[in-house]
Amino acid sequence: MHFLFISEGCPTCFFAQKILEEKDDAGYVKIVEVQFDSKTRTYITYVDGEASGESPINKVPAFYNGKTEQVFTGEKAIEEIINASWKT
């Protein structure tokens, strides 16, 4: 499985998600929202609106390629999505 980590208010995340929506019609990538929890001072991940634990990343956008087990952040995440290498 592949994951795109995004956060509200992140323009680069918005851009990455829009590209993904155009390219990922088969649902190869799961969108994961990352939010900072001020009480615990940690980043928490949300999948389909439900909290799913502490985030393994703290910089968004981030793309996790499950096939290669690599994490790409920032512009590299967008490049990975544009190249759509997870479909090969």
pLDDT in tens, the chain (88 residues): 899 999 999 999 999 999 888 887 767 889 999 999 999 999 999 999 999 999 999 899 999 988 889 999 988 888 888 886 555 4
The pLDDT score that the predictor gives to residue 87 is 59
The pLDDT score that the predictor gives to residue 38 is 92
Question: Peptide bond before 56: cis, by omega within 30 degrees of 0?
Answer: no
CATH code assigned at 52? 3.40.30
The pLDDT score that the predictor gives to residue 88 is 47
CA gap 64, 30 in Å, rounded? 10
The pLDDT score that the predictor gives to residue 85 is 59
Q: What pTM did the predictor assign?
A: 0.86
What is the domain extent for residue 78? 2-87
| Strand, helix or coil for residue 44 | strand
Number of domains into which the chain is organized: 1
